[in-house]
Structure 1
């Protein structure tokens, strides 16, 4: 099974099966401020985010321990 990263008509970045037009597995939406700051690198950042997420999901599915970040490394709002 192959996955593809696509940009949707509304500017969101999505991950979906390459052989399907079904709803994406996930969608990343950048704020206008983030778009302005990231400019052309927005898709690179989305690709890195998706890659990290897939890696963690794979580790979880395989039962491997994942490296946890300290609470002060990531702020969740």
Structure 2
């Protein structure tokens, strides 16, 4: 991915996206359920920022070859 400034935006429909500052297209979209929002007691934006920050860091480490890439198929899977 080319180097550019990224921004986190909460959309009017409640979704939170990560996008390039010079582009309207979402790179990543987070959509918390009503139950998840209630559990977070209004702190869903802070949680989204933390999730996206770690994701960007991990992507950078993968791109730099610091982490091994796992070979997986594209089927749905449990990640924890």
Report the TM range for the smaller structure's normalisation: 0.7 to 0.9
Pairing 1:10-49 to 2, within 5 Å after superposition: 10-21=13-24, 23-49=25-51
How far does residue 54 in structure 1 lie from its aligned partner after superposition? 0.6
Structure 2: any 5+ residue segments left out of the alignment? 69-77
Work out the CA distance in 2 between the residues paired with 1:27 and 1:65. 24
Cα distance in 2 for residues equivalent to 1:40 and 1:48: 15
Question: Is it true that 1:5 corresponds to 2:43 in the alignment?
Answer: no
Question: What is the TM-score when the length of structure 1 is the normalising length?
Answer: 0.79
CA positional deviation for 1:19: 1.6
* CA displacement, residues 26-47 of structure 1 (integer Å, 9 cap, x when unaligned): 0001011001111221000000
1:62 matched to 2:67: no
Structure with more helix by fraction: 1
Shift >3 Å, 4+ stretches: none
In the superposition, the TM-score normalised over structure 2's length comes to: 0.76
SS of equivalent to 2:41: helix
Counterpart for residue 55 of structure 2: 53
Q: CA RMSD in A?
A: 1.7
